[in-house]
Amino acid sequence: MQVLFLILAAVALISGVLVVIQVNPVRSALYLILNFFTVAGIYLLAHAEFIAAIQVIVYAGAIMVLFLFVIMLLNLRQPEEGGEKQHLAQKISGAALAGVTALLVIYTCTRINLGPAKEMVPGFGSTEAVARSLFTDYLLPFEVTSVLLLVALIGAVILARARLD
């Protein structure tokens, strides 16, 4: 299990970095799919089967198809050569900051003793268990999420609709 987790985590991190540094947006999107799949694998290791399935269906499936459609419809130009050096200082300082943060996280992780994991409830991670908590304890956040999505929807309409008056 541990080995599997480490492999998945490594692939997730590397593909995540590749999403950001790729110049070609289609390649970025493909690496993002890989990232979504590895994260789904990590969910599976944590016994969250339902969330893993949703991750694959919604993110790796539906959302990525939309992404790729948009990228291809927009028909983005290839960036001109020589634009690489422009942001060198930013890249270096960004990498340095990320390195410092990583060291901090590693240092923190070596200094903690995590207690034994909680006993797993039977049926944990199943669709039924997720539904049960969504409609009981997490009822309010669940409903509030609908407001959040509505706001995003209105925003998309306002910003994207044809020129006014």
Partner 1 sequence: MTISIPSITLSNIGPLLTLTVAGLLLLLMDALTPKGKKGYFPYLSLIALVIAAVQTTMLWNRSGTDFARMIYVDNFAFFFYLIFLLATGLTILISIKYLEDYHRNLEEYYTLLIFATIGMMLMAAGGHLILIFLGLEILSIAIYILAGLFREDVKSNEAALKYLILGAFSSAFLLFGMAMLYGATGSLFLDDLAQAIKAGVGTNPLLLFGMGLLIVGFGFKVSSVPFHMWTPDVYEGAPTSVTAFMSVGTKAAAFAALVRIFFLVFPEIKMEWNMLLWGLAVATMTLGNVVAIAQTNIKRMLAYSSIAHAGYLLVALVAANQLGAISFLYYLVAYTLMNLGAFAIVILVARKKDDYINIYDYCGLGFQYPALAAAMSVFMFALAGIPPTAGFVGKFYVFSAAVEAGYIWLAIIGVMNSLISVFYYLRITVLMYMRPAEADLGPVTMTPAISSAVLVTAAGVLAIGVFPGPLYELALNSVKIFVGL
Q: What residues make contact with partner 1 under the rule CB under 8 A? A: 104-105, 108, 111-112, 114, 118, 128, 132, 135-141, 144-145, 147-148, 150-152, 154-155, 157-159, 164-165
CB 131 → partner 1: shortest distance, Å?
A: 8
Q: Which is nearer to partner 1, 61 or 138 (CB)?
A: 138
CB 140 → partner 1: shortest distance, Å?
A: 4
CB 20 → partner 1: shortest distance, Å?
A: 13
55, 12 Cβ separation under 8 angstroms: no
99/95 Cα distance (integer angstroms): 6
40/51 Cα distance (integer angstroms): 8
Q: Cβ-count burial of 129 within 10 angstroms (0-12 exposed, 13-18 middle, 19+ buried)?
A: middle
Q: Which is nearer to partner 1, 85 or 111 (CB)?
A: 111
Q: Which is nearer to partner 1, 81 or 113 (CB)?
A: 113
